[in-house]
Structure 1
Amino acid sequence: MSAPHALAVRPGDAPARGPLGAAVVCFDDWAGTPGVHLLYADLDLADRARLHADLGTEGTGDDALVVAAIQTWGDDAPDRLGGTFAYAAWDGARQAVVGAVDGLGLQPLGVAETPGGLVIGGDVRAVLAADGVPDDLDEGALAAALLDAAFKPAAVGRTFLRAIRALPPAHRLVADGTGVLTARYWRPETTPVRHFRGIEACGAALRTLLREVTAEAIDDAEPGTVGVHLSAGIDSTAVAAFAAEALAARGLPPPTAFSWLPAPEPGTPPAPDQARVLAVADRWGMDVVWCPPTPDDALAGLSMDATREPTTMWTPEAPVRRAAAERGIRLMLSGWGGDEAISFSGRGLVGPHLLRTGRWGPLIAFALADPRAALQRYRASPIRRARLTAHPPLDVMREAALRGEHATFARPDLLRRADLPESLPKPVGDPRAYLAWLLHRGHLGQRTAAWAQVGTPLGLRYRYPLLDRRVLTFALSLPPEAWLTRRRLRRWPLREATAGLVPDRVRLHDSKAEPTWTEASRQSTEVAAAQFASLAARPGAHARAHLIDIDALGEALSAWSQKIERQNHGQWTRLGLQAVSFLPSSSAPPS
């Protein structure tokens, strides 16, 4: 089925399939059933050769691998699986339902308890399709999102619906008639550290790993059906290059590149970011499909209801989905998530951490190699640390908002009564702990889940080589000095790994900024914001006027669309666009 749906799953039935299906499970139906039986499966496993060797299986699909993993490893199964997954299974030995999501929650899992059973699915709309699951809002989660645009409910085990809980990244569950228990199975910050003889050796090892991971990611794709996101940054260009290399090794044409940037104007030189895209495409003979967002795309994204619809990054990816479907693309590779792991920038934490821990050697070498850059970094580090730590808890934001000192479109009554969730505390000082915090904030899975839910009806799958567990483990194992600035550039592990594969004008570019795309996106969203009156007037929009100050929201977006600056302009804009997405939609827009 291409629409969210719920199915009763009884002994002998096939599992409900994610991301659009949900399993309705009655404990009485399963009582006394022996063995392990999948109830819900949204599986895209990786590192299968290792799994087959470890489990003694051969030639079995992902379903059978998960069943064998549960039978063999029990609670340790999710930690030993590879790839992305969300599953629930009946475990006859426990007479209970067991389940898990992958380490980043890239495949989501929502759970609603019902009398005598559970409803389990990756899409809250599918869970809501089951009888007996109410759709009351979780006002605490809504208030948190209206206070902090970076808040993601799945990170703390919630959704925007009170009856549906999310299983957080790197968690497993056990459920029976007494309730649902969850536990974390992976702590990234405990990854053992490994050392290399210089950044060149680190880059060589990473190149070997990325070749393996990317080749495996496209191994089951039919020729001519592979696409890649291609921006002007190092993450997407690395994935595109490794994919093109792997296809060439099999004698196949390169993937089709899809860029969010607008096409260069005929007869004029391309802008710098467009030129970097073309440089990578020319290196590997890739066709580039330029897919800038349109005002209609922006309006469609704003018209959806983020409490239950997949709104995340709808606007920029909508034209890509259309273009991919027209060209028969069935697998899209993305460089999403590089910033949080293998192309981590250090975020201004590395130097101070090395100073505090007495590891001065790398800093002295850096200062001797480039004294001017070292002095600039030293002067800027207090500002960077202040920016990184300036993220107060939600309770503090609420009090500031009630005093009129924090931007929000939440009604004061909502803020006063809301049961705000506990936010994940941001670690201070330790780069490895900060990396782990980035991985578990929930934003990675929110985007991948949304793209899977809207891509599935089109037959389009997404894969993210830079978020493969093996690549994450590599990144987490690097000592802090691996992230030091060299030659006035950061992100050196990935830069070294792509030497000879990505043109140096891209590989050694000092910024991830894409002004051409930023301007195209701003223009399309401004046009959509100017049509806010039509959004606010649509049927049902004012059903949440007691939660969201719709009049203030309309005024703010109107001012933004007219380029009227205000204090904390960027914060108000982000929160305003998010608040619009929480208005009820009259209907889901087309893909």
Structure 2
Amino acid sequence: MCGVVGWVDFDRSLAGERANILAMTGTMALRGPDAEGVWVAEHAALGHRRLAVIDLVGGAQPMTADRDGSAAAVITYSGEVYNYQELRTELAGRGHQFRTRSDTEVVLRAYLEWGDAFVERLNGMFAFGLWDIARQRLVLARDRMGVKPLYYYGTPAGVVFGSEPKAVLAHPTVPTEVDADGLRAAMTLVKTPGDSLYRGVRELRPGHLVVVDRAGRHERAYWRLPTREHTDDLDTTVGTVRELLRDIMTRQMVADVPVGTLLSGGLDSSVVTALAAAAPSERGDPVRSFAVDFVGQTENFLPEEMRDTPDGPFARAAAEFVHTDHREVMLDVATMLDPLHQTSAMMAMDGPSPMGDMMTSAYLLFGAVREGSTVALSGESADEVFGGYGWFHDPEAVASPTYPWLAWLHRSTGDANPASDLLEPDLAKLLDLPGYESDTYHAAIAEVEHLPGVDPGERRMREVFYLHLTRWVQVLLDRKDRLSMAHGLEVRVPFCDHRLVEYVYNTPWSMKTYDGKEKSLLRGAAAGLLPESVLQRKKSPYPSTQDPRYGQMLRDQANAILADRNSPVVGLLNVPRIRQLLETPLESSGFGPNRRRVELLISLNDWLRRYPIRLRLDS
């Protein structure tokens, strides 16, 4: 797991541009705290910051591979390929010789053997730039589910790329501009594949690769969610899910550094923790599990619509049952609202977020986990794969002509994006956030493939799953990657294995809910692995503090922003409306619309203050 950058220009020599590639590479230091490397040639320059996980000594990058005695290709690579050992054996049988034990060299050799089709053989989470020295072409590739990020900016004669926008923006020719679509994306809980907040900066879409040569840039999909008939019966389906999970976990436990798990006490993270604890370990140490909680949360917990029980007791029950070395990361309000931590989380994301304390607490959690582990396994994306959220089971949300999670969340705001109320009226009209959400929703729905003659209910649920697996999960995976890698922590997501995703995606909704509960297939596959209290626990989202002091401190921060004539966000705001909002206490729930509005306001102001952004709202 690392940070990658690169620059290709066919109209000029990059031999003297080492300082610029080093500046870009330096922005990725948090992603790769263990080593730095650059490789510079006539028309290509690559940079790399390394987090050493496999082959700690031999895996330095950028890495080259020889063919017929001369350098043939060089790569800057981030991620893990979990089937690299099988690929290595196959490639060795075809005459390839290896200098290291790393999966990076396997990826290089796979390209030399199979050309661009090599990416279809990789099982894992990855993003990389590979320069073919002989053919003078760059290959950019990203894993199927988009677990690892990769951004690029097209230039007249090539491309600039990096793991995060900050690396691309560090290039001297790339402007830090945000247009209307960028602001729209910053204020919604939708991540449209390919888009970024920054004008001209593209995010390589999941399951895609881009080839850059003298003829230009050529992008193609090497994978998309397949649509096929599911013919297995229920027992076979549950058994297949169980065996897939066991195989996935065996592969993802491989590391030359300590491995832990993120354990909330929900079904998803508890299954991952149980399977990790049962998997063979070369180190012999018990798995470390980490849970985040808030001071006083368990003792003073109040049931909410989306969360009816506190996490702590369930996380402890799961850890005790599977015998992990369990650790609790306790956070208080003052720590979460420390401007240093708020800004650090925002800068890790390269932009604002309406997710509020769920961003800052995750940032702090990952920092604490990094003190005890270099790799952590997460239950992220199980809800998207198996149908765990409450809105999957809400007929009104499912039938709504928008993203189901937005239908659910916007009910309390009159079916409108709550961020609209923040904005100066003319700006709110220009951005038209409800219209933006509607337009992107219909574009996403148009991508869905259907089987002929399918029951209308099953047809709609396929659309709902497609939306979650291509739009919503991207929001969560991006949060997970950026905030964890800001501490040099690699977080693996077993439920994003494409074999599992493909299999469950094509399983009928009736089978996914065979016992009348959410995530029936996962619960059935996990039978016997966990205590019944955890196995049967109702879905509970990532935790959010209920401490009333949090709302008061948010109001204080927002009032200070409004009182400062130099606050960059004020010119974008409907100040009278916000002052009115701040006259009353904010909701204790993290899903309260007013609390979300104020958290977004603070985050927007910090972003505009910290980044040299030029707003281009005329385009």
**Letter of the structure 1 residue corresponding to residue 558 of structure 2:** F
The answer to whether the Cα contact below 8 Å between 1:37 and 1:67 also exists between their aligned partners in 2 is yes
Aligned amino acid, residue 237 of structure 1:
S
Q: Verify the 8 A CA contact 1:110 1:121 in the aligned structure 2.
A: yes
Quote the Cα distance in structure 1 between the aligned partners of 2:177 and 2:243: 49
Name 2:305's counterpart in structure 1. none
Tell me the equivalent position of 1:578. Answer: 600
1:423 to 2:440 alignment: yes
Work out the CA distance in 2 between the residues paired with 1:482 and 1:458: 40
1:318 to 363, 368, 372: 363
1:189, 1:433 within 8 Å by CA — same for their partners in 2?
no
Q: Distance between the aligned counterparts of 2:275 and 2:493, measured in 1?
A: 12
**Residue 63 of structure 1 aligns to a residue in which SS?**
helix
How do residues 46-445 of structure 1 correspond to structure 2 at under 5 angstroms? 46-53=82-89, 55-56=91-92, 60-91=101-132, 95-146=136-187, 149-152=188-191, 155-190=192-227, 192-198=228-234, 200-222=235-257, 225-246=258-279, 251-260=284-293, 262=295, 273-286=311-324, 287-292=326-331, 294-300=333-339, 302-303=342-343, 304=346, 308-309=350-351, 313-326=358-371, 328-344=372-388, 381=395, 383-387=396-400, 389=402, 407-414=420-427, 423-425=440-442, 427=445, 429-441=459-471, 443-445=472-474
Taking structure 2 as the reference length, the TM-score comes to 0.72
Distance in 1 separating the partners of 2:221 and 2:4: 28
State the distance in 2 between where 1:106 and 1:449 align: 7
- Structure 2 portions without partners, runs of 5+: 46-66, 302-307, 446-455, 612-619
Deviation at 1:282, TM superposition (A): 1.4
Are the aligned partners of 2:423 and 2:574 in contact in 1 as well (CA < 8 Å)?
no
- Are the structure 2 counterparts of residues 189 and 39 from structure 1 closer, same or farther at C-alpha, using a change threshold of 3 Å? same
Of the two structures, which has the highest relative contact order with CA contacts closer than 8 Å and spacing of 6 or more? 1
Query: Which runs of 5 or more structure 1 residues have no equivalent in the other structure?
Result: 350-379
Q: Distance in 2 between matches of 1:27 and 1:251?
A: 48
Aligned-pair Cα RMSD in Å: 4.5
- Provide the rounded CA distance (Å) in 2 between the counterparts of 1:465 and 1:232: 17
Aligned mates of 2:40, 2:405 — CA distance in 1: 40
SS in 2 for 1:239: helix
For the residue of structure 2 that corresponds to 1:104, the secondary structure is coil
1:336 and 1:461 mapped to 2: Cα distance? 13
Rounded to whole Å, the distance in 1 between the matches of 2:375 and 2:476 is 16
Residue 582 (structure 2) aligned to one of 558, 569, 585: 558
Q: Tell me the distance in 2 between the aligned counterparts of 1:284 and 1:564.
A: 34
TM superposition shift of 1:48: 2.3
* Separation in 2, partners of 1:446, 1:36: 37
Paired with 1:384 and 1:71, the residues of 2 have a C-alpha distance of 49
Question: Are the equivalent residues in 1 in contact too, given 2:142–2:150 (CA < 8 A)?
Answer: yes
SS in 2 for 1:534: helix
2:517 is matched with: 489
- Sort the Cα spacing of 1:128 and 1:412 in 2 relative to 1 into closer, same or farther, 3 A: same
Cα distance in 2, alignment partners of residues 574 and 255 from structure 1: 33
Distance in 2 of aligned mates of 1:507 and 1:391? 26
Contact 1:293–1:316 under 8 Å retained in 2: no
Matched, 1:480 2:509: yes
Residues in 2 aligned to 1:228 and 1:523: alpha-carbon distance in whole angstroms: 30
CA spacing shift, 1:439–1:523, aligned 2, 3 Å: farther
Please say if residues 232 and 506 of structure 1, whose CA atoms lie closer than 8 Å, have aligned partners that are also in contact. Answer: yes
Please report how far the alpha carbon of residue 124 of structure 1 lies from its aligned counterpart in structure 2 after TM superposition: 1.0
Q: Give the CA deviation at 1:309.
A: 4.6
Fraction of identical pairs, as percent: 23
Secondary structure in 2 matching 1:88: strand
Cα shift at 1:169: 1.8
Residues in 2 aligned to 1:40 and 1:537: alpha-carbon distance in whole angstroms: 47
* 1: CA distance, partners of 2:300 / 2:200: 57
SS at 2:422's partner residue? coil
Residue in structure 1 matched with residue 489 of structure 2 by the alignment: 460
How many residues end up aligned between the 2 structures? Answer: 530
Specify which of 34, 37, 49 is matched with residue 73 of structure 2.
37
SS at match of 1:137: strand
Per the TM alignment, residue 324 of structure 1 is displaced from its structure 2 partner at its CA by 2.1
Q: 1:144 to 1:217 in 2, by over 3 A?
A: closer
Matched, 1:507 2:535: yes
